[in-house]
Amino acid sequence: MTLGWNDSVGLVVADVDDTLAPPFHDLGDELADELTALLGSGVRMLLASGAGLEGIRERVVSRLPAELRAGVLVAHCNGAEVYGFDERGEQREQVMFSVVDAAHRATLRGAVHVAELLMKEFDLVHAEGRPSRGAALLDDRGVQVTLDLSGPAERDPVLTRARELLEESGLDVEARPGGASAVDLVLPHVDKGHAVRALIGCGLAGPGEVEVWGDQFSVRGGGADVAMAMAVPQGSRVISFRAVPPCDVPAVPGMRIWPGPRHLDEGVLDHLRTRRNR
């Protein structure tokens, strides 16, 4: 069973981690081939992710042909900024959209200190490569500070303590779950929806032309992808590629749960294959 392909789609708004590739993994060969065909057909992609710009560029965008990258936009760090690519496939220097100014960046420098305190309090060492038990990645991305940990069991107490430290510090910064194992220290006004809404408002796509792909729609899990789903025009289809119990699905217009049997990035691959099998 599938949801069927919508031939009216001209823009796909997609999360990255777990939706297009597992965290810290590159876009798979088969999925890269299907996305190449999608872009080649004229469909554009807006990658809206809590991940950083460099990681998305290296793990996903670089796996796509240079001549098609002009059809890709990246809203990194939960949509704090959006960058595009030129006809040669090179990242454009000029930011297309941003909700972060110099004062915000100064505030986030204080969040770096909070992240360092968390590393010390939880006896975390700096990981080399991927995080592991007791070793975390601290990434100051300028517009967001992220602590990547080994999994939910290690992340959850760090997230709770991060919120306490931020409240004590008086910094206008929030601690949010990032995917399954990260803590994102972000500005309160930042979410994926702002970037998606702004770009669509500039004519990137019209009603009926947008489809949203994500995996973080769980109400109990924080629902990081809900904001981008609420930002698209009415009538857009929103697909969760993570199996979510009906009681945990938010009231998002157009929401569909991918029926499986495969989910996450494998489910996206199966969905894309319906384009040429229809």
For the segment 57-71, the average pLDDT, to the nearest whole number, is 98
> In this structure, what token pair is assigned to residue 140?
């100051």
Convert the pLDDT of each residue in 164-207 to its tens digit: 999 999 999 999 999 879 999 999 999 999 999 999 999 999 88
In the predicted structure, residue 235 carries a pLDDT above the cut 60: yes
Domain 11-98+190-277 - what CATH class?
Answer: alpha beta
Sequence ranges of the domains in the chain: 11-98+190-277, 102-186
Q: How far apart are CA 174 and CA 92, in angstroms?
A: 29
Is the Cβ–Cβ distance between 23 and 179 less than 8 Å? yes
The DSSP bridge pattern shows strands 145-148 and 72-76 to be unpaired
Instruction: Specify the DSSP class assigned to residue 69.
Output: G
With a CB cutoff of 8 Å and minimum separation 6, the contacts of 259 are 1, 2, 3
Q: Report the percentage of the chain scoring pLDDT > 70.
A: 99
Convert the pLDDT of each residue in 28-52 to its tens digit: 999 999 999 999 999 999 999 999 9
Q: Which CATH architecture has domain 102-186?
A: Alpha-Beta Complex (3.90)
Is the Cβ–Cβ distance between 231 and 205 less than 8 Å? no
- What pLDDT is stored for residue 221 in this prediction? 67
According to DSSP, the residues that pair with 260 across neighbouring strands are none
Q: Residue 156: what are its φ and ψ, rounded to 5°?
A: -60, -45
